[in-house]
Amino acid sequence: MRTNKTILSEDEICYVKEHIGSEKYCDIASHLGYTSQQIANECRKLKIHKPVRRLSDEDVQVIIENYTNTNTVELADQLDTSVDAVARIASLYGVKKSSWYTDEQKSFIIDNYTKLSAKEIAKVIGTDTRRIQQAINKLCKPRINEKILTDDEIQFIKDNYTIMPATEIGKILGYNKNFIIYKANKLGLRKKRKINSSYFKDIDTPEKAYFLGFIFADGWICHNSTNGTYEFGMQLQSGDNYIIDRLDEVLGGGNYRSHIDSEDTLICGKMCHSNGIDGIRVFSKEIVEDLMSHGIEFNKSQKDTYPIVDDSLFFDFLRGYIDGDGCYYIDNGQTYMHITCASKIPLLYLQEKLKSFDIETRIYSENKRKHRLMCINGKAMHKLINSLYKDKDCICLTRKYERIKHFLSLAA
């Protein structure tokens, strides 16, 4: 089970690392389009530590007086220290959070946890989804068995669970997805799917090479031979979900799919918008091991390994890598390409490979964990784009294709 997957991109992680010592959580969150709590949570996952200054007696008193009823992230921002430092002081002086919910709010949670998602309840009450899920686990789990479905509802679940998403069944019956899954498991129902577990055994088609590049940039794997956990997944913004759809299809269909709605959030007086996110999770030991054999590693952003494909498929692989970690941008009327990576080693490989195709690139290192491969020469860009999109119907992110299609068929 994945527990440390970050929602931040490589560029966003680099931004957090560069500014965590000089800016507040709320300022970083405002710039990146997240909430302060999300940034604080991601810092914990990635072990990015905010420099801790020595707290004065006055600071300690502020924590003691306000910790009970104040968001910890806001308190840390106010005192210009880390969330962990605030929590340690509170623990030292025996200060605890008050109950998050009134009796009325608790009743609302209990009455609606089978009908609304945790996110929807959180919006009504005015808190975050994580705390609502904790409240559901504490207040409502003992009541799940008390909820009696009608015979018609049970039959509907039996007839449709293997062919219809639990979310859709929940909408029809008036329950949330998790409740439907729980009841289906109790009824002994299981999703039917035939996973194409050998898909990545050999990277021998343009589409496979493209997905390998995209996974290297934006995918992740988890494996634990001790408990038999093998998992591969990807998350993309919702506008790019056709890539997820196609990946699900070639892997046999019926894999676990997720969706997070886009939302507008008021942060420090500024309205910020976060895009919706679509994801896929595939549970297959063979797929994970095949991806590892091709150079995909756990926590790959910290590794110097990289996939190598046949020369005939190199530009399909590179197109996938650019769609995941690359960017086409326009400056003074000129269009350029760059790829950002935490390790310089894969970029050196790409540079050498492109050089063999007579395509000039440069590598710039902003710091030890942020490197960019850039193509800024007009002639090289013409050749690069015509090589990447040589096949008219190749799989790609259309929003990126639209930015560079003017290069196609032009003389280099």
Give the whole-angstrom CA distance, residue 103 versus residue 101.
7
Predicted confidence (pLDDT) at residue 80 exceeds the cutoff of 50: yes
Distance, CA of 142 to CA of 158 (rounded, Å): 24
Average pLDDT over residues 312-330: 93
CB-CB contact of 328 with 337 (8 Å) = yes
Residue 324's pLDDT is 92
Asked whether 239 and 275 are in contact (CB, 8 A), the reply is yes
Averaging pLDDT over each range in 80-84, 172-176, 241-245, which range is the top one? Answer: 241-245
Task: State the pLDDT at residue 162.
Answer: 73
The pLDDT-based confidence of 227 (bands split at 50, 70, 90) is: low
- What pLDDT shows up at residue 90? 83
Name, in order, each residue with C-beta under 8 angstroms of 35's C-beta and a sequence gap of 6 or more.
29, 128, 265, 267
Q: Which of these, 340, 337, 319, 339, lies nearest to 328 by C-alpha position?
A: 337
pLDDT tens for 7-53 read: 888 888 888 888 888 888 888 888 888 887 788 878 888 888 877 66
Residues 171-198 have a mean pLDDT of 80
DSSP one-letter string for 370-400: EEEEEE--HHHHHHHHHHHT-STT----HHH
206-407, CATH topology level = Endonuclease I-creI (3.10.28)
Average pLDDT of the chain is: 82
Helix 10-19 × helix 36-46 angle, to 10°: 90
Q: What percent of the chain stands above pLDDT 70?
A: 86
Q: How far apart are CA 130 and CA 100, in angstroms?
A: 12
Global pTM value: 0.56
- Domain residue spans of the chain: 10-92, 103-186, 206-407
- Beta carbons within 8 Å of 233's beta carbon, 6+ residues apart: 2, 5, 219, 220, 221, 279, 280, 281, 282
Other CB atoms within 10 Å distance of the CB of residue 92: 11
Tell me if 100 sits within 8 A of 44, measured CB to CB.
no
The string of pLDDT tens digits covering residues 103-125 is: 777 788 877 877 777 777 877 77
Numbers of helices and strands, H then E, in the chain: 20, 10
Q: Where are the beta strands (DSSP E) in 161-228?
A: 219-224
Q: Helical H runs in 256-391?
A: 285-293, 314-325, 345-356, 378-388
- What pLDDT sits at residue 337? 92
Confidence (pLDDT) at 358: 94
Number of CB atoms found within 10 A of residue 391's CB? 12
Q: Is 411 helix (H, G, I), strand (E, B) or coil?
A: coil
| Those residues with Cβ within 8 angstroms of residue 285's Cβ, 6 or more apart along the chain or in another chain | 223, 228, 230
Q: What percent of the chain has pLDDT over 90?
A: 26
